[in-house]
Structure 1
Amino acid sequence: MTTDTMTETTDAAADVPPASAASSADRLADVWIELEERLAEVPVLRRLADGTVTLDDYRRLLFNLRQQVVDGSPWISRAASNFDIDHFDLRSAAIRHAEEEHRDHLMLERDYVAIGGSLHELRSGRKNVGSEALSGYMFHYADRPNPVGLLGAMFIIEGLGAKRASGWAARFQEVLGLADNQVHFMQYHQEADGEHTGNLEAILTSGIIDDTAADEIVRCAQVVARLYALQLEELDR
């Protein structure tokens, strides 16, 4: 190889951005693709897709989701309390979000009762192993000073509500003949979480997220995506 060729090769390589230079949006999109692939293998969602899902499957799904949903507003509130004055906008956003989320479990409870479930059994239930891991991680992360990485958790959780919940609700209705008042929790989250994801995108593109924070956001999204899928995989543990 000649000196000129080596110089041209070096210059060309310099024009190619390193993998780490990928935008936050691209990196989060990759996390989402991995989550979608994993969800496709979750037994209850696979049965939902192929039309063999049962009412008991749906009841078990709501039972397990409720144990995690009830923790949503508390961990968001805890995160808000750990943002300092230099992160005022994130603190304000977290406070508003916690307020909007703190009654969500009541909608789920009404759906559960509407399909014949026992409210007492639902409220006295325990988290499955995936929900335990997910909630434990969320509260642990929320205790950090300025837990910006939790925006990655929001990307996953709110994204599922905005992009998947309504489709799941429609499919449960199609296969099981359920009424709207039996799938209201999932239906509601398409609109509510769609607004939340819009707010999240505004924050991510506002310029207040530096490279270090972006890495934390992506890493948190990776962990939460895996644990959320685990929660759906382990409905009976």
Structure 2
Amino acid sequence: MSATVEGYRPPEHDETSLLARLADVWAEFEERLLVVPILRALREGDVTVADYQCLLHNLRQQVVDGSLWIARAASNFDMDHFDLRSAAISHALEEHRDHLLLERDYVAVGGSLDQLRSGRKNVGSQALSGYMFHQANQPNPIACLGAMFIIEGLGAQKAAEWAQQFQEVLGLADNQVHFMTYHQEADAEHTGKLDAILTSDRIDAAAADAIVSCARVVARLYALQLTELDVI
């Protein structure tokens, strides 16, 4: 339809919509990732196998907690939110073996499985997990959708790119970066399901505010997790 037709007005971009607000949070998150030391070194081709091991070692401790807080959130949705409970249960089921993929990659690049499993969360991982369990323990914790937006978006939009860069710089095989490459496809599917919920009539104004707030906090804490890497 032409804009010259009488009475026609082109649709305006709704900057107050939930997805638009989350897009702003994502843009801020991407800016934070640009200055994360290991990611900057990766872009510049200045990483080592030890750096990659360190990244996996630090990520694993938080990945283990991911399915746990999602399951906790599911248990706190009441019957009026049964559809969200079901979605969270399904998501937790899909996520609860992710740490095994990471462990196989870690061993494939020469890491010790015992050392990996005995590791502890770094400063950012502790803050992120603590915050997420707090959110998941709330009644009808719909704010957790904001965390999923950031974390699933990271897998869908960044993980495969990082895997390719690690392969190019370090000459790694596919079975050494499977954790990251797997999440491109898996998390793309998850984000599609998430977007359907975020644009549904389930989300009122108060829920939207809570989701955006949670997304903003998780974006900062995830960047902190990637910055405060404990040396192994």
TM bucket by the smaller chain? over 0.9
2:72 counterpart residue number: 78
Partner of 2:118: 124
Q: Which of the numbers 53, 57, 72 marks the counterpart of 2:47?
A: 53
User: Do structure 1's residue 166 and structure 2's residue 160 form an aligned pair?
Assistant: yes
Q: Which residue of 2 aligns with 1:96?
A: 90
CA distance in 1, matches of 2:146, 2:134: 15
CA distance in 2, matches of 1:90, 1:41: 35
Q: What are the superposed Cα offsets for residues 56-108 of structure 1, whole Å, 9 maximum, x if unpaired?
A: 11000000000000001110000000000111110000000000000000000
Q: Which residues of structure 2 form unaligned runs of 5+?
A: 1-11
Residue 208 (structure 1) shift: 1.1
2:37 is aligned with 1:31? no
Q: Which runs of 5+ in 1 are unaligned?
A: 1-16
Equivalent residue in structure 2 for 1:138, among 132, 142, 153? 132
Moved more, 155-164 or 50-59: 50-59
Q: Which amino acid aligns with 1:61?
A: L
Residue matched to 1:220: 214
Aligned to 1:70, the other structure's residue is in SS state helix
* Separation (CA, whole Å) in 1 of partners of 2:102 and 2:173: 14
- The residue matched to 1:206 in structure 2 has which SS? coil
1:196 aligns with 2:190: yes
Structure of greater Rg: 1
- Residue 179, structure 1, aligned to residue 173, structure 2: yes
Dislocated runs of 4+, deviation >2 Å = none
TM value normalised by structure 2: 0.93
Secondary structure of 1:71 counterpart: helix
CA displacement, residues 176-225 of structure 1 (integer Å, 9 cap, x when unaligned): 00000000000000000000000000001111100000000000000000
Q: The residue matched to 1:107 in structure 2 has which SS? A: helix
RMSD: 1.2
Whole-angstrom distance in 1 between the partners of 2:71 and 2:23: 27
Q: CA deviation at 1:35?
A: 0.4
Q: Which amino acid aligns with 1:199?
A: K
Aligned with 2:119: secondary structure? coil
CA offsets, 1:35-63, max 9 Å, x none?
Answer: 00000000000000011111111000000
Match of 2:58 in 1: 64
Deviation of the 1:236 alpha carbon: 2.1
Q: What amino acid sits opposite 1:148 in the alignment? A: I
Matched residues, number = 219
Question: Structure 1: how far apart are the matches of 2:127 and 2:230?
Answer: 15
The one-letter amino acid paired with 1:69 is V
TM-score, normalised by the number of residues in structure 1: 0.91
Whole-angstrom distance in 1 between the partners of 2:83 and 2:218: 23
Q: 1:109 matched to which residue of 2?
A: 103
The one of 81, 86, 94 aligned to 1:87? 81
Query: Could you report, residue by residue, the CA deviation over 1:147-195 in whole angstroms, capped at 9, with x for unpaired residues?
Result: 0000000000000000000000000000000000000000000000000
